[in-house]
Amino acid sequence: MRTRPLKVALLGCGVVGSEVARIMTTHADDLAARIGAPVELVGVAVRRPSKVREGIDPALITTDATALVQRGDIDVVIEVIGGIEPARTLITTAFENGASVVSANKALLAEDGAALHAAAEKYGRDLYYEAAVAGAIPLVRPLRESLAGDKVNRVLGIVNGTTNFILDKMDTSGAGYSEALDEATALGYAEADPTADVEGFDAAAKAAILAGIAFHTRVKIGDVHREGITEVTAADIASARRMGCTVKLLAICERAADGQSVTARVHPAMIPLSHPLASVREAYNAVFIEADAAGQLMFYGPGAGGSPTASAVLGDLVAVCRNKLGEATGPGESAYTRLPVSPMGEVVTRYHISLDVADKPGVLAQVATVFAEQGVSIDTVRQQGKDGEASLVVVTHRAPDAALSGTVEALRKLDTVRGVASIMRVEGE
């Protein structure tokens, strides 16, 4: 074993960063044995230096992150501060000054991953980011390495623990969205401002990263169709249950049947209870991958939190340090296919549509005519009526999303349709 330690700088010391520092200290001997050399934490960049950080030598704390990554003797920089800037500049500065980078920054990678990969390649450095997608669940490395010889056709997953917890509570307890969100906040699953989670931004960033790796093409967060869960109601959950389904916020990345394009989207959807993702409870994550040779694979585990995310960071640290010792680099960006990302309107989906209609003869015929005119085939219809009012629930066969959207707009114009109570896609069949 080499006795000279590999030097590591840590950018950020919050929930994840502090856990990374703790594990590096308590598991130092094991990490050294696995890497082939000891690793030494030589600096920790923070915004609030006065905060007490148990187990971290105060002499390591600095507020000058730029000076830390410019030192020139750093082997690996671990970036867990998040956001676009100053993280982007700090990472590229680290590459310029001889360091490889381990990052958990999904927002930055989904927005500017191509530029970061280009900088890493230019300077001969590693860029690893297992922790950016689903906490402790190994996803990035299996897609980049284990499935590198296969053709991945679909990635379907629950990649946000907060929204899964909320939807699970709505399903199992009958709670409304606001009640379930309050419980998630009280338990620490939701931030004080939960927008990034409940509006789907977090999941969309992860979908962009996964789609790019799976299909060897560049996908940015702006390419991902995004819908959150704030409009999901207890009635939607009940309707799903009557269909033998449950509601999940899904990240769906697909290769077109002709192989000439890809799609990436995040939205709530009904999935059959028989699907493996339907049993994913509380704040857990799971991702279902379909590939030509490997078939169907499922990855499951805690998708967030200090310890799970730190586990992924440390796994990358070991890999990057081994590469350093071997004077090599791991896999970089693979975007050779250059496939376009199709808009949501071209995606073929199924819809569950709940309508409030007048309870009188001919309503169903009018509604069916609208579907026929838009070229959308109906799978099932359920109607209930009382005292002049009725509800009509229609589940469609698969059709282009634009046609389904056009159908909904046409339905709104019918005099007999009092309102569209809910619209939700049906997936996983």
Tally of CB atoms within 10 A around 291: 18
Task: Report the relative pairing of strands 284-291 and 389-396 from DSSP bridges.
Answer: unpaired
Residues in Cβ contact with 257 at an 8 Å cutoff, skipping those fewer than 6 apart: none
Rounded distance between C-alpha atoms, residue 116 and residue 13, angstroms: 22
- Report helix, strand or coil for 49: coil
- Which element (helix H / strand E) includes 156? strand 152-158
Please list the residues that pair with 103 across neighbouring strands.
Answer: 79
Nearest to 107 by CA among 78, 128, 87, 77: 87
Dihedral angle over CA of 194, 196, 197, 202, nearest 10? -160
Rounded distance between C-alpha atoms, residue 348 and residue 402, angstroms: 9
Question: What is the set of active-site residues?
Answer: 206
- Report helix, strand or coil for 170: helix
Residues in Cβ contact with 139 at an 8 Å cutoff, skipping those fewer than 6 apart: 130, 133, 210, 287, 299
Rounded distance between C-alpha atoms, residue 376 and residue 27, angstroms: 59
Rounded distance between C-alpha atoms, residue 373 and residue 342, angstroms: 24
Residues in Cβ contact with 130 at an 8 Å cutoff, skipping those fewer than 6 apart: 138, 139, 140, 141, 312, 313, 315, 316
Please list the residues that pair with 101 across neighbouring strands.
Answer: 77, 127
Tally of CB atoms within 10 A around 193: 8
Rounded distance between C-alpha atoms, residue 98 and residue 84, angstroms: 21
